[in-house]
Structure formats: structure tokens, C-alpha cells
Structure 1
Amino acid sequence: MLKIKAVFILSIFFVSISLFAQDLPSETVIKTTDLYNHLKDDLKKQIPNTEAALASYYRTAFSQRFYYDWKTVPERFALYQSTFPEAKKDHLERAKDHMTKFAASSPWVLPFNYQNGQKVNAYALRHLARQHKMIDIAFNYFYDNKNPIYINYFTQQMQSLNTALENKTYEKIENGNGTYEAFRSGYRILNWLEIHNLFLGEKAYTDKDQLTTIATLLQHGENLYQTNATFTDGNHQTRGMSALAMLAILLRDFEGTDKWYDRAMLRLNEHLDKEINPDGFQFERSVHYHMSDIETYYFVYQLAKYSNIAIDSTFENKLKSLFTSLAKISYPDKTAPVLQDDTNEPWAEKNDIEGTMTLGYVLFEDPTFGYFAKDKIDAGLYWFLNQHQLESLQDIKKQNPNYGSVALPETAYYVMRQGWDKKDKMMIISNGVDDLKPDHQHGDVLGIQAVANGQVILPNYQVRYSLTDFDFFKSSMVKNVALVDNEVQGKQWTSNEGGSGFGKFKNLPLPKTIAWETNSQFDLFVGSHNGFENIGVNYSRQLIYVKDNFWIVKDNFTSNTPHTYKQVWQGHYTEELKPNLIRSNFPDATGLDIYQLAAVRL
């Protein structure tokens, strides 16, 4: 009798646990009928235990908590169309591309084929996982007279991932293409939240659809919480933690989301401390990744402010410093140099930063940021600003920056600047390699770029991971650097384990800054690196900017044996009169002359 009684009591204990300890699952999606059981007790007292009541509650919650009220979608979409008329063509093309390639009920693990029979590669799989083009499909719903096929496609593709989760037929993190890896999962959450808010007022997006999206996001959030218990450097974790914080704020009525927020903010603050250098630049040294970090932190900062959640002043100050440092390195025409893995426009010689700086103005109303701002935000950020912020761009206060020749010493970018008139001269020197994560670094240590008369006279070039020339355009042969014999700076190139195109150098030179001085007469920089010591050559570079006139670049090589020393200059040159002069000409009749002061042996 005692044995039987003990078993009975134990079974009652387990029933009690199942009723009251409703942990959010990370490996399965909660049934919509069970979502109520995972709510905090306070909300359970406010709404009935029905799907209709919960869907209604969350429509109200999103109208109050999201970046803008979904009830204004008709007016906002009309304004979007008139403000960005060129966007429609792009949205239609991208949506068609995605829907033609991938079935609504898609596989989520390689190998599989597009609907036309061609093989899906790792690069394409990663973009499926991020759901970038699902945004375009959502816009097509509105462009195409609210045709429900687009909502159905979205909900079915989400459900296909949930089915893959249940069946464990999705790409795992260990193979390099993980569907639930922090960066891809974080981007997917961001895109799905945008779509969810767009669709909340649509009858075709039913209560069941809405709650399925919420249940799916809860599973994503718990997965991110469990898989990011420790710090991992780089923008992959920050993107995931930004998404986790967003979910914690928007879905804060569910048990367990408080710990999501605490973990997300702990990780994000660690990244701000370790990866935003004291000079304000992102540690990977790329303008592209710098601007991506700005958005990552902005999404959290903005939602927290809407919900009156206190943000540490350090977070706000670091966020502002990202805009300030971007302004410091900018060209006089309000663009920015191409630095490391900048990937928006392959082979482009500048970075468009107007949209990012416009966001900076919206946030901080700093007239120096206003100098770079335009009267409309980038199309992608339009859906993450409220009406007041959009209206603030109709009266931008502008002030010319007062940054002259400046150094970002921790990031190791050095700027020699004439001024801020569009035709003024500017040169930027790169002399850094991050010691923790140099993955996005190019072989450009002690490389330079320059503008004059509104032209990029010494360019660098943006890259694209999926292109076959990616590793070449990342190498020293397309930088304004000095080389020895057949040695280049970046050695032992390796592609990434997922095979998506991105890769990195195993070995890069260690740079050293020897001198930096700026005054009213000249700017001076002296630096060195050890990239040629493996063949017995010591190397340093000296640069002098004689203010408002010209630059002198002197490369110093020291060796006990003969070598071939080279200065590599980017651009389109003709040999003029003598072998020690090359000249590039631009369409506006301006030009660049490069004189070799020492004797030349060709």
C-alpha cells in the first residue's frame, strides 16, 4: 500500500508542474490554442481564453508598441508610393524572383532544387533563411489590389519552416548555414515583424494566421535565448540579440520574455563595449558593417523608448558616436570611402551614407548630422519611423561639420582634409587590423584613398560575396598600397565553411602607427607593417599633405638582398611625356598627376 500511495502522489506532482510551469519551447511551435496558457497571470485576468480575444489583444498591443500604428497602413502606403515611386519595380521583380524560385511550402535543408529544377546553393539558402524578399511579397499584396495569394504565400512558407523544425529537416548551425543561426534568425524575425504589422488590418490575415506568427516568433525567441548564453564577437550575434530584444518588448505579456530582454541587453551592451571602439567606429572597420550596427542598435533603442523602458546612457552615447565617427571620415560630397567589406554596390568607389545620417538626425536632431541628411529616410527604414519623425525631415537644421584633419586612433583611420566644400581635397589612410575578428578586412594596410574636385582620384572598390572576383577585389592588387616582388598582404585565402561565397585571409600584416601630426601648414602620417618580413624586407610609408596643394607619398624598403618594389595606384592612367609621370583624366576635365620622384625602372 505504501508503494502504491507514493506513486499516486508522484503522479499528482507531475500534473501540477504541467499546469503551472509553462516554459516556452525552443524546438517546437506552440499550438495557437495553447498560447493563452503561456501568458503572464495579469493578462490572463484581463482577456478570455479564446483565440479571437488574444488576437484582438495583440492587434491593439502592436498598434501601441510597434514603430508605427498599423491602423495607418493605408495612408502610410500611399505616402510610400508617392515618396518612393521607383521602389515598386524593384519590389515586383524581387517578389517574382522569390516566388518563382521557391515554393510556398519550401524545403529548408540542402540539397534541393528551385522550382525550375536548378540546384539551390548555399548563398541562396541563406537568403531564403533571412526572408529578405518576403518583404517584397508583402508589398506586392498592396500593389496587386490586396490579392490574398501573397498573404497565403507568407503564411505557408512560415509553416513550412515550422514543419521542418518538427521534422528536424532544416540546416543546422554546425554545417555553416544554420537556419536558426543568430544572424539569419534575427533577420528573419525583423522581416516577419515588419510583415506582420503590415498585414494586421487585413481580413485575409486571419486570427489563426496572426497567432501562428506570434507562436513562431516565440519559438524563435526562446531559441535565440538558449543559444546565446555567452558572448560571441561579431555582427551575427548582435543581429540576433537585437531581434530578441524586439520580441521581448513586443511580446512582453508572455512568461519568460523578461529573461529574454535581460539577456539581449546584456549581450548588446557587451558588444557596444567591446566592438564600438572609443573613437566611435565599429571594430570590423567596414562602413557597411558600421551602418548595419547602427540599424541593429536603433531597432532596440526606438522600441524601448516607445515603451518607456529605460536605456542606459552608455547605450545612447555609443549609438550617437557611430554617427559622429561616420561623419568624421566622410568625403566632402557627403559620401564615404570604401573600406574593407563594403558590399552594397559591387565595384562602386563610394558609399552612400545619406540614409544612415538622416536616421542620426531623426534620433538626435544634431545639425552636423543634418548636414548629411536628406528630406526622406531610406525606403527600408521608412516602416520603422513614426509619423512625427518623418515630418521632422521637412525642416532639417544643417550645420557644416567642423572636423578638419582627424584620426580615429583605435580603428586606425587617418583623415587629411582641406575642408567641406564639395571640390575640396581629402585623403584617408588605413592602418589597422582588428585582432579579434579580421574577417572583413582587405589587404589594404597602409592603403590610401583620395578625392579632389568632386572626383575619387584614388579609389577603392566595393565587393559582393557571391561574385567570382570577390577574393581578387579583396586583395592588395586593387588597393593603393606598396608591394614587394610577388608578395601581397593577404595570404592563405579561405572560403567560409558554408560555401556561400564569403571568405577571409588567414594571415594579414600587423600594422603600426609611428607618427600623426596635423597643423595649419601640413598633415603628416608615418606607419609601418610587417607584411614583407617573411622575405627579409622591412617596410614603412610616409605621407605629407601640403595643405590645399598636394600629397607626397614615400615608401621605404630595407633589405639585405635585391627585390622588386612596387607602388600600386588605382584608376585609369595614361603615360605622359616621361616614364615618371602618369595621368588620369575625368569627364569634367579635372585630372590627377602622379609623379615618381625617384628614378623609374620599368
Structure 2
Amino acid sequence: MLLTFAFFFALNIQAEVADPAKEIKSLSPLVIISRLDLELPGLEKVKAAESRGARTAALAALLEYYRNVFPLEPIKGALSDKERKTADNFARHIFQWGPYEPADYGDSVNWQWDPRGDIEWVAAIYRFFWALPLSEAWAATRDEKYARAFVELDRDWIARHPLQDRNIAHPIYTDWVGFPWLDIQTGIRATNLCRVFPILVHARAFTPEFLAVFLASIYDHQVKTEFFPMGQVHNKAMMEQRGFTDIASTFREFKDSGRWMALALDRGQESLLAQTTADGVQCELSAGYHLIVLEDAVHIMEQAEKMGLAVPEAYRQRIRLMYDYLFAVATPDLGWAMFGDVSRQLPGGERSSHELYASLLEASRIFGDPKYAARARLDYSNLPQEKSSAFREAGMYVFRDRWGPDQIYLAFHDSPHPCGSGWHDQPDNGTFELYAFGRWLMTDTGFYTYGHDPEKREWHRQTRVHQTLTLDNRNSSVDARARLWQAGADFSSVTVDNNAYEGFLHRRTIWFVDNSFFVLLDEAIGSAPGELALHFQLAEGKAELDGNGKRARTLFPEANVLVWSAPDEPLTLEEEEGWFAWTYGKRVPRKAFCLKSAGQAPQQFVTLIVPYRGTTAPVVSAGLLDNPTVGADRVELEASAFGKTWRIGRDLAAQSAWSREKGK
């Protein structure tokens, strides 16, 4: 039996806390050596110095040990001008994050400062996003100013944020209690510290005395995560455990490192299985977080194996299912469908630079299955015959006619409620994105921002700015149930019900006819009063809206889409405000419109979505047969396009759908 999102949300992962009321405080650097296993090979000098009470000599020997454990790589190449400028600014306490202008923090850094009015800026500072550019600059130049800057900043942060004060609230975001040591901050910061340590430990600025301060802070991170983990079904829980894993793996000299790793694997498995559906989709329904959780899960698995731990098969197989989802839903240019809080790089560049290319190669490396790498490299000989896919529990579906850059690709989202608050999802059930013949034709609105402009974030989240049906332009509920999925060689179909409003169910059926065009049947089932409207958004660029013909089309030179509704339908085509936000803080205007109904529910609407090559739109038509009752299990339609006519239908009771070309 499949677990529901409601179960996931209700589940509260039980943290293995020795004492929930335990008071913790930062470890003194004076006792850091007592936390190390001095019986390990290579630590003989440290042990000898410590045994005679020569702490300074012991720390010097420990620094020498780490420099041997992590050999210094030779200089491999020069910094780019951009990389040098970034590192130089960080060294002068000038920070820049996201789409914003840099901010000068001055000589004394106020870590809580929010110079651009975006909580994500503050979070990035606390996650030490600035540490890696400083380490890379030192590695490329051996200029001590970069190492000194890291040491100064890290030492200052440590002094100002002892564990015993971990529950302070932010002065602006007053509900953000404990923000310096929150799960995600602690986890990502730990990972970043583990990434820069093997490099910067070789700098002159990284003295034996600072090593003690640094290791004591590293130990604090483990204490906080062990005794006060997040303990909820959330992507942050995996980020937290990844940082916990990184410290256990990087600093195996700690006496507790083996126990930490075993605990990280146990918690990682519990968290992963709880926050993914049985068909392998991260239950916040935002693809970027699916990828983050997947990468963290793989990292935890592989680090645990390196330390000799057996990874449970259930954990390994859930990772494989997550890769299967990535394989299936990846766009023709190897990005994500932009449902929820998802960014997508603009088209162009080498295929190897596309977002999901490396992840697909990684899947083949881990599981020995060539199909993932074949998807990345377009090795048609190792790609499966099945091209369309359904992830019914998650409510994610993909139609495609072929593999390759010219494919027709439609990703459809109609899901049950996501786990947690739904912050990263949007109330957009029934929406879709369309790509065909080498370009995007109908794209999602995007999320635009998290924090700096709440009004615009809410605008981009609205149901009415997605390709779906609304009642009085209000946001719909996210409460869908898969009713039918059928896929074949030249035809696929899906039906999903969404309890969109009180007393109002939106049923959307999509037929992918002849693997060439789409027929949509939208049924407004119920008696809730209000104005019905079908909303559509076109890709950025020129477009033509024909109110009399109740149709719209893009006007690109090589490939286009026609959105068609029957001219005699009691609908009015109206242009709407349209925006496309492909990444954080950036958006451009685009054409959007709706088809408003003159009547109220119950009603049903037939729409054709027809991608085509060239600039001449095909002649199309469609209509329901036999005047079916709105909400009937069985419906049949006739649809014509590209000089052919098909009889299509579905029967929910019989769990079947069909598409038959007339005359054959």
C-alpha cells in the first residue's frame, strides 16, 4: 500500500536524543585534543606531546598531520577576473549574493545584517557561501590575504555564535529563532568548512592555535546536530545530515566519528524514505529540492560505505527511483520542468553543461545501468522504447514522442498536497509546460523570489498565472487524485481529479494524439457558483491572440504552438498579465490569456494544444460526441489536425483510453 503525503506530513522523525533537555555549550579549544583518538596511525607525535603537557607542540604536530593527510595540490590555473574580484571583495568584507548589488560590511562584520531585504541573503552568509571562493583564490595564487580573510571571518563568527546562545532570534525576522544554528545553516556550513579545510590548512594563516579553534567549532556542529536535529520530513533534514556526514568523514580522528557516521546513515535513511513517494519523488514537489535531497542521499551512502558501513537496500533502491524520476522528467535540454520553486538555465551551450547532465552520468556510475548516461549523451541505442512516463503517487506526468532535441515534450503536474507547508510547491494543479522542435513554446511562470519581494512571489504563485482552470480567479486547493494513465507507442492519455474548491472538482484529461498534438478536456464538476476561466501562457516572444477565433499562437520563425478552442463555444478570449521568471530575481514579460466562460459549473471545455513546424498554423477542429454528462466516466471526442481525424475517448470505470484514426 502506498503511503500518502498526509502520512509523510504527520510523521515526525524521532531523533535519537540522549536528553532532550540537555544544555549544550561550545567546546573550549583548550580541550580539543581530548576528543581525538590519539591511537590512530600518524598521530604519534601529537600523543607524545600531549602526554607531556606540551599543548602548543601537540597542536603543531596535529597541523603537520593534517597537512600530510590532505596533500597540497599544485597550482592548476589562474583565477578569472570575476573569481579574483569576488575573492578580493570577500577579503574586504564586501559580500554579494543572488541578483543583488554588493554590500560593504565594514571592518566589524554584523552577521545579522540584511542589506537587501531578503532572508536568503542572511542565510547565505551564515552558510559560509563565501568560504569556497576564498579557498579557491588561495589555492590558485597562494596569496595569504585570502587565507587570512577566511581565518578572520571564521574566528569572528565562532566568537559571536557560541552553542549556548543558539536560540537567539533574528532582529528583523523575529520568528527566525535559532537561525545561526538551524538545521540547514548548520549542515551547509559544515559541508563548506569540510570543503575548504583540506586547502586552507596549508596556509601560513592557518596556525596551530587557529586549528584548535576551528576543530572545536567543527565539534560544536556535530554536538548540535546529534542532540538537536531537525527531526521533520523536509529537504533541510538531509542537508543537515550531509553536513554531519561530511564532518564524520573528513575528521575521522574524532573518537566519535564512526558513531556519527552510523547515526547519519540511520537518520538519512529514515528521512529519505519519509520524504519521497514510493515512485521516487521528493514530496515537496519542487524539482530543485528533489535533486538536492538525491545528491545528499548519495553522498551519505557513499561516505558511509567508505567507512565500512553496510547501506540498507531500501535506501539504495529509493535513490535509484529518484534517478528514474530525474531520467523521465528531464527536459529535452536536460533541465527541470519548472513546477514550484524551480529555476532553469536558458537554452544554449554544450550539452555537457546542462543542469542534469552530470547527475545522469552519476546514476550510471552508481547503478551500472547505461540508460542514464545514454539520456545525457543522447546515445539512442541505450535509451528505452517507452518515452512517456507517469509518477502517479506524486502527480507528475511526461508525454514525449521521441528522444532527442526535436522531441515534443509536455510535462503535466496535478498532485496531492505536498509534505510540509507546501512552501516550495504552488497552487497550480493541472498546469503543464510544452517544448517542441527545439524550443520552448509554453512555459511555467516561475517563482521569481523567496524573500525580497513578497508581493511578486505571491503573484507568481497564483493559480491564474498557470495553464489551468480557475473559479473566480481564486487560488485552487492542491488535492489531486490520479484516475487514469495509459501509454502506448503512438498515443498516451492521463486523467486526474483535483478538489480545487469547495463543492468544485476540476477533472483534466489529456490525450497525446498520434504523438503529434494534445487534446484537453477540462470538466468543472460541482455546483459552486463563480466565473470559470481557462488560463494559458506562451513562451517569451511574439504571439498572436485572436479573440474572434478563440485561438492563440506563437510567432517564432521555426516552430510554434496553436492553442485552439471551438469558435462556437460560449467563451471569451482575454489577454492577461504575463511574466516568465527563469531564475531567482529575474523575469521578463510574455503573452498570457484566458478563455472565460459565460456560464457556471457544471461545464466542460475542449482545447487543442498543437505544436507545429514553420509559421503556418494547421487547420484543426475538435468536439465532444453524444453530448456526455459533465463528470461522466465515459466520454468520446473527435479531433482533426494535420489533415487527419481521430476518434478519442476514455472510460474511467474500465480504466481505458483510446485514439483511433478514422479510415483505418
State whether TM-score is above 0.5. Answer: yes
TM-score of Structure 1 vs Structure 2, range by shorter chain = 0.7 to 0.9
How do residues 331-350 of structure 1 correspond to structure 2 at under 5 angstroms?
331-343=331-343
Query: Which residue among 85, 88, 91 is the counterpart of 2:83?
Result: 88
Displacement of 1:471: 1.9
How do residues 126-275 of structure 1 correspond to structure 2 at under 5 angstroms?
126-143=123-140, 145-166=141-162, 172=168, 175-176=176-177, 178-228=179-229, 231-275=231-275
1-structure distance, mates of 2:129, 2:509: 45
Question: Any conservation in 2 of the 1:27–1:165 contact (CA below 8 Å)?
Answer: no
How do residues 405-484 of structure 1 correspond to structure 2 at under 5 angstroms?
405-437=388-420, 438-463=422-447, 464-468=449-453, 469-484=456-471
Which residue identity lines up with residue 452 of structure 1 in the other structure?
A
Change (3 A) 1:487 1:167: closer
Superimposed CA distance per residue, residues 241-264 of structure 1 (whole angstroms, 9 cap, x where no aligned partner):
111122122323323334322322
Question: Any conservation in 1 of the 2:464–2:535 contact (CA below 8 Å)?
Answer: yes
SS in 2 for 1:304: helix
2-structure distance, mates of 1:305, 1:262: 10
Which residue identity lines up with residue 59 of structure 1 in the other structure?
R
Superimposed CA distance per residue, residues 537-571 of structure 1 (whole angstroms, 9 cap, x where no aligned partner):
33211111102221011111245476322111111
1-structure distance, mates of 2:249, 2:106: 33
2-structure distance, mates of 1:548, 1:161: 58
2-structure distance, mates of 1:242, 1:332: 31
Question: Any conservation in 2 of the 1:29–1:162 contact (CA below 8 Å)?
Answer: no
Structure 2 alignment gaps of length 5 or more = 1-21, 51-57, 97-102, 170-174, 573-664
Displacement of 1:220: 0.9
Displacement of 1:238: 1.3
1-structure distance, mates of 2:463, 2:89: 34
Superimposed CA distance per residue, residues 162-182 of structure 1 (whole angstroms, 9 cap, x where no aligned partner):
212349666637634611111
Quote the RMSD (CA, aligned, Å): 3.3
2:595 maps to: none
Which residue identity lines up with residue 295 of structure 2 in the other structure?
E
SS in 2 for 1:42: coil
Query: Which residue among 56, 60, 68 is the counterpart of 1:52?
Result: 60
SS in 1 for 2:204: coil
Change (3 A) 1:539 1:374: closer
1:543 maps to: 510
Change (3 A) 1:234 1:346: farther
Query: Which residue among 371, 392, 395 is the counterpart of 1:368?
Result: 371
Match status 1:399 vs 2:382: yes
1:98 maps to: 95
1:27 maps to: 25
2-structure distance, mates of 1:196, 1:403: 46
2-structure distance, mates of 1:360, 1:329: 15
2-structure distance, mates of 1:550, 1:599: 21
Query: Which residue among 472, 475, 480 is the counterpart of 1:488?
Result: 475
Question: Any conservation in 1 of the 2:194–2:250 contact (CA below 8 Å)?
Answer: no
1-structure distance, mates of 2:345, 2:452: 12
Displacement of 1:460: 0.8
1:21 maps to: none
Structure 1 alignment gaps of length 5 or more = 1-23, 64-69, 376-395, 490-507
Which residue identity lines up with residue 179 of structure 1 in the other structure?
P
1:387 maps to: none
Question: Any conservation in 1 of the 2:509–2:521 contact (CA below 8 Å)?
Answer: yes
Superimposed CA distance per residue, residues 239-295 of structure 1 (whole angstroms, 9 cap, x where no aligned partner):
111111221223233233343223222210101211222212211121100111122
SS in 2 for 1:528: strand
2:635 maps to: none
1:564 maps to: 531
How do residues 104-119 of structure 1 correspond to structure 2 at under 5 angstroms?
105-108=108-111, 110=112, 112=113
Displacement of 1:511: 0.9
Question: Any conservation in 1 of the 2:380–2:403 contact (CA below 8 Å)?
Answer: no
2:609 maps to: none
Displacement of 1:458: 1.9
Which residue identity lines up with residue 56 of structure 1 in the other structure?
E
Question: Any conservation in 1 of the 2:393–2:482 contact (CA below 8 Å)?
Answer: no
Question: Any conservation in 1 of the 2:545–2:553 contact (CA below 8 Å)?
Answer: yes
Superimposed CA distance per residue, residues 147-190 of structure 1 (whole angstroms, 9 cap, x where no aligned partner):
22221221122112221234966663763461111101111111
1:580 maps to: 550
1-structure distance, mates of 2:468, 2:311: 43
SS in 1 for 2:333: coil
Match status 1:552 vs 2:519: yes
Displacement of 1:134: 2.1
Write 1 or 2 for the structure with the bigger share of strand.
Answer: 2
1-structure distance, mates of 2:380, 2:564: 43
2-structure distance, mates of 1:360, 1:94: 38
Question: Any conservation in 2 of the 1:367–1:397 contact (CA below 8 Å)?
Answer: no
Which residue identity lines up with residue 599 of structure 1 in the other structure?
E
Q: Taking structure 1 as the reference length, what is the TM-score of the superposition?
A: 0.77
How do residues 591-602 of structure 1 correspond to structure 2 at under 5 angstroms?
591-597=560-566, 599-602=569-572
Superimposed CA distance per residue, residues 118-148 of structure 1 (whole angstroms, 9 cap, x where no aligned partner):
58763322111111122122223345x3222
Change (3 A) 1:340 1:576: same
1-structure distance, mates of 2:228, 2:270: 16
Displacement of 1:104: 6.6
Question: Any conservation in 2 of the 1:433–1:441 contact (CA below 8 Å)?
Answer: no
Superimposed CA distance per residue, residues 361-393 of structure 1 (whole angstroms, 9 cap, x where no aligned partner):
444453222134479xxxxxxxxxxxxxxxxxx
2-structure distance, mates of 1:524, 1:86: 52
Percentage of matched positions with identical amino acids:
15
Which residue identity lines up with residue 426 of structure 2 in the other structure?
H
1:288 maps to: 288
2-structure distance, mates of 1:297, 1:247: 15
SS in 2 for 1:28: coil
2-structure distance, mates of 1:432, 1:592: 26
2-structure distance, mates of 1:362, 1:368: 11
Q: Taking structure 2 as the reference length, what is the TM-score of the superposition?
A: 0.70
Write 1 or 2 for the structure with the bigger share of helix.
Answer: 1
Question: Any conservation in 2 of the 1:370–1:397 contact (CA below 8 Å)?
Answer: no
Question: Any conservation in 1 of the 2:412–2:433 contact (CA below 8 Å)?
Answer: yes
Question: Any conservation in 2 of the 1:337–1:351 contact (CA below 8 Å)?
Answer: no
Question: Any conservation in 2 of the 1:447–1:479 contact (CA below 8 Å)?
Answer: yes
Superimposed CA distance per residue, residues 179-228 of structure 1 (whole angstroms, 9 cap, x where no aligned partner):
11110111111111111112133333223333332221111111111102
2-structure distance, mates of 1:448, 1:137: 42
Displacement of 1:409: 1.7
Superimposed CA distance per residue, residues 325-366 of structure 1 (whole angstroms, 9 cap, x where no aligned partner):
101112233333112111466999x98322332433444453
Which residue identity lines up with residue 562 of structure 2 in the other structure?
D
Question: Any conservation in 1 of the 2:258–2:307 contact (CA below 8 Å)?
Answer: no
Query: Which residue among 523, 527, 534 is the counterpart of 2:496?
Result: 527
Number of positions where the alignment pairs a residue of Structure 1 with one of Structure 2: 515
Change (3 A) 1:53 1:560: closer
Which residue identity lines up with residue 101 of structure 1 in the other structure?
D
Displacement of 1:519: 2.1
Worse-superposed segment, 266-275 or 195-204: 195-204
Question: Any conservation in 1 of the 2:265–2:300 contact (CA below 8 Å)?
Answer: no
2-structure distance, mates of 1:226, 1:344: 37
Question: Any conservation in 2 of the 1:481–1:569 contact (CA below 8 Å)?
Answer: yes
SS in 2 for 1:179: helix
